[in-house]
Structure 1
Amino acid sequence: MINDAGVRVFISSLNTDINWATISTWLVIAVILSMVGGALGGMMIAGKDLGFKFAAIIGSLFAPAGVIPTLILGLLLLNFLGNY
């Protein structure tokens, strides 16, 4: 599967091109990683006070709020700088 020509082109376009497919892929990757990081951070910060499950849920819900706009602005900046 990894040796398929379409998969190879898509993987190489993830770090060279900015199009709708790469934007959505990076957005999904960033949201998943931020949710995991937010859950771990919530458990470490407020796990004993709120309970570990509830702190993980709240942390995973609030973490993408900062990541999504940052990712979109970063991709727009890369697209702008790539034109010059």
Structure 2
Amino acid sequence: MSEILANPTVQELVTNLAAGEINLTTGLVWLILAALVSLTGGAIGGMILAGKDLGYKFSAILGGIFGTASVIPATLVGLFVLNFLADL
């Protein structure tokens, strides 16, 4: 683990994330994190809403797909807006 953290590229990424800079790499990291959180939330929501009717596994799959499908475009638009506002 210490070898990974000692890598200059990883140190630069962590520094950019902590500083709040938005570039291509940090934007991709935020997009992946948003997709994972929305996937988890959509799966849980699908299980709560339609678990008894459709089955828990199937409703979790559908909830994960629909949750991620709505969050990815919103995250991209939000990152573009933040990047634009940071340049002003």
TM-score (structure 1 length as normaliser):
0.88
- For residues 81 and 48 of structure 1, the distance between their equivalents in structure 2, rounded to whole angstroms, comes to 45
Q: How does 1:39-54 map to 2 (within 5 A)?
A: 39-54=43-58
Residue in structure 2 matched with residue 75 of structure 1 by the alignment: 79
Q: Which runs of 5+ in 2 are unaligned?
A: none
Identity of matched residues, %: 44
- Within 5 A, what are the aligned runs for 1:10-49? 10-15=13-18, 16-49=20-53
Whole-angstrom CA distance in 1 between matches of 2:25 and 2:9: 13
Q: Greater CA deviation, 34-43 or 15-24?
A: 15-24
Q: State yes or no: 1:2 paired with 2:16.
A: no
Counterpart code for 1:38: G
2:61 aligns to what?
57
Residue 2 of structure 1 deviates from its aligned partner by 2.8
Unaligned runs of 5+ in 1: none
Query: How far apart, CA to CA, are the structure 1 residues paired with 2:43 and 2:85?
Result: 34
1:14-60 per-position Cα deviation (integer Å, ceiling 9, x unaligned) = 24221111111111111111111100000011000100000000000
CA RMSD of aligned residues (A): 1.4
Q: Give the structure with the higher percent helix.
A: 2
What TM-score, normalized by structure 2, do the two folds share? 0.85
Tell me whether 39-48 or 64-73 shows the greater mean CA deviation. Answer: 64-73
**Hey, what's the Cα distance between the residues in 1 that align with 2:16 and 2:72?**
21
